[in-house]
Structure 1
Amino acid sequence: MTMTQPDNFWFTDSGEAPTCAVDGAGDMLVSMDGIRGKLTRDAPLAKLVWFKTGGNADWLFEPADLDDLCAFVERLDEGTPIMGLGLGSNMIIRDGGVPGVVIRLGKAFSTVKNLGDCRLECGGGASGILVSSTARDAAIAGLEFLRGIPGTVGGFVRMNGGAYGREVSDVLIDCDVLMPNGEFITLPAADLEYSYRHSALPEGAVVVTARFQGEPGDPKEIGAEMDRIAQAREESQPLRTKTGGSTFKNPEGQKAWQLVDAAGCRGLTMGGAQVSEKHTNFLINTGDATSADIEGLGEEVRRRVYENSGVTLEWEIQRVGRP
């Protein structure tokens, strides 16, 4: 059966669901028989990340639901690179694009359910705002800080996301994870071996569901705390620019932004990238930056901070793909 490729999506000539997907060399990536999700070859990713820069994914898969995702991953050849993508808020997609398959969790993975006893079950594609708002409406306190994390559950469970004095490790009960080999497992929080902005999840593992534990609270007080967090972010961070969230991890006992500022990097530019004047731990795309500009500027900031203070800043933003 002949394959055509309108808009980079593989369909059969008859308009039926595709039976296989092939790469640029004509080799079959995976059988699509029975797969209901959308598979796109050479898929642009810049529009899907906050910086609005970067190359294409070799393949982008958007599963219809969990069963669809599991069936697709099980069919991939062993060793095929897999990367999960949420809101793209804390990520640099390099200009050469991302090898293998990028998996983007959509509406089917964006639900939040009240389990009772101050517990929430959240899909990997649910935003921090949705989780915290659902908790507020259910009179569940302790999850307000998620209002300040610009990402989805899958990302901040993997990276132990945190803000305003709390981290995911403080509230996570367990999570359901699809491993790169297609195995579907449930991991208690202790097995993730959390540390600051780090977990033991392997590359290619996709968090599809997580359960959080809160405590009884008053919805009005919870809402007031969420409003305080939202206002604090608005006042201190360049939220209305093309940015990527906090760039560097805070060294123990120090603030990354203070080290960057002390090194004279406020407003520093490289190509179309700039260190934010408003918050120096944020890099921004002023309009025509490449990912190389942004990453290069970050490396220059690290160099200047080390020369000034002797501190080596560690990247917090994920940098993925080919240079």
Structure 2
Amino acid sequence: MSAAAPARLRGRWDEDVPMARYSSWRAGGRARRLFQPADQDDLREFLAQADGEAMAQLHFIGLGSNLLVRDAGVAGTVVRMGAGLRGLRLLDDGTVYAEAGVAMPKLARFAKDKGLGGAGFMAGIPGTVGGALAMNAGCFGRATWETVERVALLAADGAELEIPAAEFSFGYRSLSHPRHERPLFLAAWLRLPPPAPGEWEEDARQATQPIGTPNAGSVFVNPAGDAAGRLIEEAGLAGHRIGAAQISPKHCNFIVNLGGASAADIEDLIEAARAAVRERFGVDLRLEVRIIGERA
């Protein structure tokens, strides 16, 4: 696939794109190419035109809400699924069909409007359905795959498959399938129950998280039986800064961009937190955010 836009695509194709524009951290380098498919058919057409070398340089993202692009940028092509795969509807069988680019808070609002429950926790997940499926995202003790009945994905050979949820193994921030190591999700069918009493009361995120300052949500996966934020705070890093990146004193599992932080500032702060927790507690924190590209 050349640098020029492939033929017959209906989505948006841009070159030399500042990825800080597409990351909730508002930091990072540039992508050589960015493609935002118009819909599933447009995505399939794009992939059909990609040769093996181009496929190896594709990076699929949603809304960029858990993404850090290193300062030297991305040499390949970034495919932003959140731009066009946004189909969302209640089907006759009672399931909710949600495409990969649908924002999870939007899915939560849709469920509420339709008189459904089991989705209140989704309002606290800043990413898309595709990203939430890939990592079994969750909050408030709930997780995405608890609601999934089946999914549509693209296999490595380009075939579109529908696979029941029972074929996947999922746990806390983890997902696996015996035949699909890194599935590219197109959509999910969710089975949602009637709402529980008080489910749709406003959550407490604003009291406990640094809403309003550029961040990527939880940086680390919580270790079993503990909380990454507590470990980082106990290691003495609450409010610690590198450049314009800071470990939030409000919630130490969040790193905020105080204004003008580089991706290197953020990544160095990530590594400082990991090192401090490892030294103090002997715990290796696992990343929840995704880092792509090359360091400057």
- Whether these two folds match at TM > 0.5 is yes
Q: Does 1:212 align with 2:190?
A: yes
Q: What is the CA-CA distance between 1:106 and the residue it aligns to?
A: 4.7
Q: Paired residue for 1:135?
A: 111
- Aligned equivalents of 2:88 and 2:12: distance in 1? 23
Out of 20, 25, 32, the residue aligned to residue 51 of structure 1 is: 25
Q: Paired residue for 2:42?
A: 68
> Structure 2 matches for 1:16-27, cutoff 5 A?
22-23=2-3
What residue ranges of structure 2 are gaps of 5+ in the alignment? Answer: none
Q: Does 1:289 align with 2:268?
A: no
Q: Does 1:318 align with 2:294?
A: no
Q: What secondary structure is seen at the aligned counterpart in 1 of 2:221?
A: coil
Counterpart of 2:80, as a letter, is R
Determine if contact 2:90/2:97 at 8 Å carries over to the other structure: yes
Determine if contact 1:112/1:130 at 8 Å carries over to the other structure: no
- Aligned equivalents of 1:266 and 1:192: distance in 2? 38
> Structure 2 matches for 1:252-263, cutoff 5 A?
252-263=224-235
Q: How many positions carry a matched residue from both structures?
A: 290
Q: What is the CA-CA distance between 1:107 and the residue it aligns to?
A: 5.4
Q: What is the CA-CA distance between 1:321 and the residue it aligns to?
A: 1.5
Counterpart of 1:182, as a letter, is G
Q: What secondary structure is seen at the aligned counterpart in 1 of 2:199?
A: helix
Q: Does 1:245 align with 2:217?
A: yes
Determine if contact 2:122/2:139 at 8 Å carries over to the other structure: yes
- Aligned equivalents of 1:78 and 1:321: distance in 2? 19
Determine if contact 2:36/2:80 at 8 Å carries over to the other structure: yes
Counterpart of 2:13, as a letter, is L
Determine if contact 2:38/2:85 at 8 Å carries over to the other structure: no
Q: What is the CA-CA distance between 1:188 and the residue it aligns to?
A: 2.2
Determine if contact 2:37/2:85 at 8 Å carries over to the other structure: no
Determine if contact 1:128/1:152 at 8 Å carries over to the other structure: yes
Q: What is the CA-CA distance between 1:99 and the residue it aligns to?
A: 3.2
> Structure 2 matches for 1:67-146, cutoff 5 A?
67-79=41-53, 80=55, 81-106=57-82, 108-146=84-122
Q: What does the per-residue CA deviation read over 1:239-292, in whole Å, with 9 as the maximum and x for residues that have no partner?
A: 110111001111001111111111001001111111001101100111121111
Counterpart of 1:293, as a letter, is D
Q: What is the CA-CA distance between 1:103 and the residue it aligns to?
A: 1.1
User: So what's the TM-score if we normalise by structure 1?
Assistant: 0.84
Q: Percent identity?
A: 35
Determine if contact 2:244/2:260 at 8 Å carries over to the other structure: yes
Counterpart of 2:171, as a letter, is S
Q: Paired residue for 1:191?
A: 167
Q: What secondary structure is seen at the aligned counterpart in 2 of 1:50?
A: coil
CA RMSD of aligned residues (A): 1.8
Q: What secondary structure is seen at the aligned counterpart in 1 of 2:8?
A: coil
Counterpart of 1:206, as a letter, is L
Q: What does the per-residue CA deviation read over 1:17-64, in whole Å, with 9 as the maximum and x for residues that have no partner?
A: xxxx733xxxxx67x332222211222211111111111122111112
Q: Paired residue for 2:145?
A: 169
Determine if contact 1:78/1:181 at 8 Å carries over to the other structure: no
Go from structure 1 to structure 2 and tell me whether the alpha carbon gap of 1:102 and 1:292 turns closer, same or farther (over 3 Å shift). Answer: same
Counterpart of 2:66, as a letter, is N
What residue ranges of structure 1 are gaps of 5+ in the alignment? Answer: 1-20, 24-28
Out of 228, 245, 250, the residue aligned to residue 202 of structure 2 is: 228
Q: What secondary structure is seen at the aligned counterpart in 1 of 2:175?
A: coil
